[in-house]
Amino acid sequence: MSVTTPSPTPRRGWLSEFFNDWDKVQMLISFVILALLASTPLFLRTPYHMGIAILTTLYIFTGISWNIVAGFAGRLLIAQIIFLAIGAYTTIVLLNRFGISPWIGILVGGAMAGLLGLAIATITLRYGLKMDYFALFTIALMVALRTLFLKWDFVGGAQGMGLSLTNPSFDKMIFATKEPYLYIALGLTTIGVIVQYIIYQSKMGKYFLAIREDEAAAAALGVDIGATTAWHC
């Protein structure tokens, strides 16, 4: 009687295990794209094309924040641009009106955008606005804020607020070329990619996905819908 010895299971290498983890592969792809954007000054010589690269990077950053709200939590947030507008207006108003450096203004602008998100979460939770009604509320808020800024002289009204770029100043974030602006945008986007990955892997991220799939079932399993919604907004 012969005894058959089972063949040992081949051990997979770390590279194979890495590529079997789709989340890590997506992170790798994201960093490759950011590296390509970082190399654009090597072959983009004109300010026009550099401006396109900067706007592309900023739109990626905005898309990451939208993905956390709409992609992870399933909230139909259409007027995502209002958060970017609040941050931008806060930064330029602090510089032009109070002489506060944009390096600080960016942080304050982010905090103001976060407070706006908290206000939206509070109102929509209070009145139970979901899906299409939530989207319509954000659109109405966008239109209201646009009208306010167009009529409000403190923020420049319809003409907006300008900034002289003739005298380079690191403190005022004014540079002679556009490359520094690209790397600032890339820094923000890199932080956004890392934060998004951390959220996705965290318990809060799993709560977001549970609410997206079935809010009632998530609540029945003990997920605090109100607190979680406030976090992702």
- pLDDT single digits (tens) 78-109: 888 888 889 989 999 999 889 899 999 999 99
By residue range, what is the domain housing residue 95? 59-232
Is 5 among the domain residues?
no
Q: Does 41 or 232 have the greater pLDDT score?
A: 41
Is 132 among the domain residues?
yes
* Residue linked to tokens 């063949």: 7
Enter the tokens of residue 193. Answer: 């990619």
- CA-derived radius of gyration, the chain: 23
| Residue type at 150 in one-letter notation | L
Number of domains in the chain: 1
DSSP 67: I
Is 50 among the domain residues?
no
Mean pLDDT, range 158-166, rounded to an integer: 79
Q: How far apart are CA 141 and CA 86, in angstroms?
A: 12
Q: What percent of the chain has pLDDT over 70?
A: 86
Q: Does 207 or 4 have the greater pLDDT score?
A: 207
**Of the segments 11-20, 67-76, 143-152, which one has the largest average pLDDT value?**
143-152
Across 21-35, 71-85, 216-230, least confident range: 216-230
Q: Does 66 or 222 have the greater pLDDT score?
A: 66
Is 142 among the domain residues?
yes
Q: What is the pLDDT confidence band of residue 16, given thresholds at 50, 70 and 90?
A: low
Is 146 among the domain residues?
yes
Q: Whose CA is closest to 82, among 101, 57, 65, 105?
A: 65
